[in-house]
Amino acid sequence: MRFYVITIFPNIFYSYLNEGIINKAIKKGLIEIMIHNLRDYTSNKHKTVDDYPYGGGSGMVMKPEPFFKAVETIAPDKNNRRVIILTPSGKLFNQDLALELSKETKDIILLCGRYEAIDERVKIGLSAEEISIGDYILTGGELPALVIIDSVSRLIPGVLGDEHSKDIESFSWGILDYPHYTRPPVFRDLSVPEILLSGNHEDIRRWRRKEALRRTLQRRPELLEKANLNEEDYKLIKEIKEEET
C-alpha cells in the first residue's frame, strides 16, 4: 500500500514514522509513505500557498494551484489514486472506513489543510473525498493524516506481530474492548480479577465478553444498536443491567 502526504509541515511526520510498528512495516516493504512539501509545488519565489478569501471573512484560504500540481505530479493517473482531504467538515473516520481503506488498491493521497480551509475547487477538481477524525477542531490536517495512516496500516496483513490481536480489540467486534491486566497479580492493593487467573478458558472468554459489553453500555451505548450481538450477548447485557440496579 502506498500513501502520499501533501503538507506544508513535512517534519511533523518523520519522528512518528521512524518509530514503532509503522516503521517496521515500511522496512518490510508492506507500506510506502512519501511526504511531499506543498511549497515545492508553488509557482512564485515566495512559495505562497494561501491567500485572502473571496467574500471577506477571517483567516486565509489555501490556494488550489499547488494542490493540483502536487497531486497531478505525484500521481498523474487519476484512475489510480484516491484523494482525501482532512477536514472537520468531512465524513467521520471509523473502524469500518479504516478497513475499507486497508483494502484499497489505489494510491492514497492525503491533503493536509492549514489556516481557515482549502479552496473548494481542490475537492471538486481532484474528485477528493473529505474525512474528519472527530467533532473538534485542530490546527491542521497533519495529525488526522497520521491517525489514518496508523489505523489503516495496522490492518494490512503482516504489519502487526499478532494477526489475531486486531480482531479482538475495540470496534473490531463492533463494541469496546474488555479490561486488560498483566503482572503482578496485586499492585497497591488492586488485584487482578480471579477469573483471569483460573485457567478456565471458557470462563475467561465469557468474562471478557461481558466486560466488553458492560464498558460499551456505560460509555458508548449507541454502538450496541449496530453491533452484531448474539443470544449470549443479550443474556449478558441483562445480567449487567440487573447487577447495576
pTM, full prediction: 0.90
Fold of 2-153: Alpha/beta knot (3.40.1280)
Instruction: Say how many residues make up the chain.
Output: 245
**pLDDT surpasses 90 at 89:** yes
CA trace torsion 178, 152, 23, 34 (10° rounding):
-160
Give me the residue spans of the domains in the chain. 2-153, 168-243
Residue 90: strand pairing partners: none
pLDDT at 85: 99
Residue 29: exposure state from Cβ atoms within 10 A (0-12, 13-18, ≥19): exposed
Q: Kindly tell me if the per-residue pLDDT of 200 is higher than 90.
A: yes
**Percentage above 70 pLDDT, the chain:** 96
Contact predicate 109/74, CB 8 Å: yes
The three-class DSSP label of residue 9 is coil
∠ CA 82-88-91, nearest 5°, is 50
Residue 101 host element (H or E): helix 95-102
Site of grid cell 493517473: 77
pLDDT 10s digits, 140-169: 999 999 999 999 999 999 999 766 555 555
Q: What confidence tens digit (pLDDT) does each residue in 74-87 have?
A: 999 999 999 999 99
Cβ–Cβ contacts within 10 Å for residue 50, how many? 18
pLDDT computed for residue 169 by the predictor: 55
Cα–Cα distance, 137 to 119 (Å, whole number): 18
31 has a pLDDT exceeding 90: yes
Give 161-197 pLDDT, tens digit per residue.
766 555 555 566 789 999 999 999 999 999 999 999 9
Q: What is the pLDDT of residues 99-123, one digit of tens each?
A: 999 999 999 999 999 999 999 999 9
pLDDT value of residue 1 = 97
Question: What does the mean pLDDT of the chain come to?
Answer: 95
Look up residue 163 and give its three cell numbers.
494477526
Domain 168-243 top-level CATH class: mainly alpha
Q: In the chain, pLDDT over 90 holds for what percent of residues?
A: 94
pLDDT per position as a tens digit, 217-231 = 999 999 999 999 999
Record the cell numbers describing residue 207, joined without a space.
468474562
Q: With cut-offs at 50, 70 and 90, classify the pLDDT of residue 245.
A: confident
